[in-house]
Amino acid sequence: MNSSSRANAAGSAQRIKVSFEFFPPKNGDMESQLWDSITRLAPFQPDFVSVTYGAGGSTKKPTLNTVARISRETALAPAAHLTCVGSDKTDVDAVAREFQAVGVNHFVALRGDPPEGVGAAYRPHPGGYANAAELVAGLRAISDFEISVSAYPERHPESPDFATDIDMLKRKVDAGATRAITQFFFDNDVYERYVERVRRAGIYVPIVPGILPVHNFAQVARFSKLCGASVPERFARRFDGLEKDPETRALVAAAVAAEQVNDLVERGIDDFHFYTMNRAQLVYAICHILGLRGQERTAVGAAA
C-alpha cells in the first residue's frame, strides 16, 4: 500500500461510525457471552448499543435489566427496542417510562412481528398503536427521545410495493423518527437504489445500513427468505464447501463483510449498524480490518 492509499484508509477509518445490536440473554451462559461481547466491542466507542425486545413484551424484563446494566456500569449509550404488538397504548407508554427511568433516552421503535412468528398475520391490538409510525408519535409525546426506526432496502415482506413501504417510512419520520436502520442486505446496489428512492420521497434522515456478519450461512439463507432479503449467488459462492469448516468460514465471513462495508465507504457511507448476534469475534475483526481503533478500556465498570 502506497502512502496515498494509507492516508485514504486512515481518513476513512476516522470518518466511520458504528453501533451494535445485542439481544437479551435467556440464561446465565448467554448472559456471560453477552457481556463478554459488550466488553470486547466497547473500545470502538459505538454511537450506541441497542437491545432487542420480544413481541408483545416477551423479553421485557431481560431487556430492561440489560439496558439498565449498560447504563449503570458502562460508558456506552444504550438504546432499547420497543414494539407495539399485543399491547395497549397505556402498557407500551409505561414500558417506555420504565426504560427512561433506568437511563434510556434512545428507542428503536418497531411494530414488531406477531407472537406466532415472522410470516404470521399481523393484527393490531384494539387499544394499541396500530403501527410503528403511531408508536413513534406516542414516544415523542412522552419525551424528546432519540428515535430510530427500521427501513427495508428490499421492502418489508408485507408491503405490496415500494411506494407503500416508503410511505410508511415517511410517516415514521414525520412522526418524529431521527434515524432509520436498514434490514440487513448483501448487495450494495440494492441499498443505494433504496436510498435514492427514499430521498426522492423527501426523506432526509440518515439511512444507516444494517450489516449482518455471517456466522452460519445456511441459517442466514433461511432467515433471509423469511424476511425478504435476497442472497446474491456470488455472495453464496463464497461459503460453498465451508459447512464443516467453521474456522475458514469465520475468516471468509469477516473478509466478505469488510469488503461490503469498504465498498459502502467508497460510496460515501460513514455510519454502520452491526447485528452482532451477541458474538463479538467477527464484528471485532471487521471493525479492525476497516481500520477502526479505540481506547483500550473495558465496558463493565468504565463509567465507575
Active site residues: 21
- CB contact at 8 A, 129 and 84: yes
Strand partners, 242: none
Q: Specify burial of residue 94 (Cβ count, 10 A radius: 0-12, 13-18, 19+).
A: exposed
- CB contact at 8 A, 281 and 287: no
CA distance 89 to 55: 15
210-211 β-sheet, strand order? 207-208, 179-182, 146-151, 106-110, 78-83, 49-51, 17-22, 271-275, 210-211
Strand partners, 22: 51
Written as nine digits, the cell of 239 is 461459503
- CB contact at 8 A, 85 and 122: yes
Three-state DSSP at 126 gives coil
